[in-house]
Amino acid sequence: MRTGNRNQGRPPAFFYRKTKRSNSFPLLHCDELALTNLAERFGTPLYVYSASTIRERMRTFDQAFRKVSHTVCYSVKANSNLSILRLLARMGCGFDVVSGGELERVLRVSRSAAKKVVFSGVGKTPDEMRAALKADVLLFNIESEAELSALAECAARAKKKARIALRVNPDVPAETHPYISTGLHQHKFGIPIEEARPLYARASEISSLDIAGVSVHIGSQIADVKPFAATMERVAELTRALQADGHVIKYVDAGGGLGIPYENPGGPDFAELVTSYAEALMRPLRGLNVHLLLEPGRCIVGPAGALLTRVLYKKTNGAKKFLVVDAAMNDLLRPSLYRAYHEIVPVRSPGQSLAEQNISETVDVVGPICETGDFFARDRELPITQQGDLLAVLDAGAYGMVLASNYNTRPRAAEILVDGKSSKVVRRRETIADLVRGET
């Protein structure tokens, strides 16, 4: 395992450093703070995020698209903590929301941010549409003809004009988990691209709608830029056809989906990857005179977060070894839901000399929930770990807390935002009283 700064594939949000208290063993830090200290202060399980890493990755993403008119609309579903949204809003970021609740989070952070909000999702309710119309969001991404009719009716009753883009389904395959692939006709998302022009024509006849753009999103956790390039070729072709039909297309929403290297952090650094991604998107759009909307989420916040957990017990069943930790699938669902890989490292480094001696063991890292599917890793080789030791589940800044639940009546973890040498609680740890408050 790595015992120094992590390599170029990931930002240096979490790294080992010796401290006066740690004697000869380096401790894992977030920015300038040792995770052992955070665990002592705030308990475990604990989500820890690096504000400096979020800023760095946001600036890198913005810089890659500097040659074109664009707005980065951070995907709120990746991590919707209000403090993280506020941090991004202060950087001038827009937002991609998929529910009325996410829109309300953005409005609580900054009412003015609504003008840079795109509202996506296949099942917008009339109440959500009315709230978005009242907030004057930048764009509604429409996913079906039925939704188009519902929005037109809501806008007419509110005496407003809704700016719309049709989310087209380009039928482009992407190598990712089938649960997070969205760009094929077999998926519930979007309108088949070949059916878009007739629907745009019908929409142009509705006075409460303002055709403003074309939208697309082919999935999440995509590592190869080729599917993005193929998608943009099809979107560019459609945009030219729509412009020839007389529609004023101001925006092309390219969606999100750029992945992060959970399992193999080697390879190009983030700036190189985003530059390649930017070139793949921008090249097909040259000459179209459109404003590009981008919806990154995971690639901004994923590597900026870790889930801190403590080993409760070591257990052996025959030849099988287990580390039972105090975090569980209700805290981080991705391994159970997707069989997703997260690197797991000890907070107290075993030291380079021990690592060279290969003092390790193969274990399953599991939680306390009464489900066989409650695991973070299976047959994972880790340095020998003792009861009471701290582990960090890395790259947990995206789709961690937002997917958390109270299964087994487990209170959700606290969240801490670290910025240099300072830290603050950005979500307090839940109590049992919180969980039963609404019940009778």
Whether 169 and 193 have beta carbons less than 8 Å apart is answered as: yes
Buried/exposed code over 309-329 (b: 16+ C-beta within 10 A; e: otherwise): bbbeebeeeeeeebbbbbbbb
> Can you tell me the distance from the alpha carbon of 246 to that of 250, in angstroms, rounded to the nearest whole number?
12
What are the residues whose beta carbons fall under 8 Å from the beta carbon of 408, sequence distance 6 or more? 328, 330, 368, 369, 370
For 437, phi then psi, to 5°, come to -60, -35
Chain segment 28-53, per-residue pLDDT in tens: 999 999 999 999 999 999 999 999 99
Position 200, amino acid: Y
pLDDT (0 to 100) of residue 178:
46
Strands 422-427 and 414-419: antiparallel
pLDDT, tens digit, 9 for 90 and up, residues 134-189: 999 999 999 999 999 999 999 999 999 999 999 998 877 555 444 344 434 555 56
In contact, 275 and 9? CB cutoff 8 Å: no
Residue 187: per-residue pLDDT: 56
pLDDT at 353: 46
Residue 370 known to be catalytic: yes
Closest CA to 80 of 361, 363, 305: 305
Give the model's pLDDT for residue 221. 86
User: Whole-prediction pTM value?
Assistant: 0.92
Distance CA(103)–CA(255), nearest Å, equals 17
Single out the residue of 303, 329, 327, 346 nearest to residue 429, CA to CA: 327
Q: What is the pLDDT of residue 62?
A: 94
337, two tokens: 């839901």
Spatial separation of the C-alpha atoms in residues 245 and 242, rounded to whole Å: 5
CA distance 385 to 376: 15
According to the model, what pLDDT value does residue 220 have?
81
Closest-CA residue to 82 (of 431, 435, 427, 436)? 427
Which residue stretches of the chain have pLDDT < 50? Answer: 1-10, 176-184, 353-356
- How far is 177 from 187, CA to CA, in rounded Å? 13
For residue 21, the model assigns a pLDDT of: 66
CA distances from 227 to 52, 174, 256, 296, 347 (A): 31, 6, 12, 16, 38
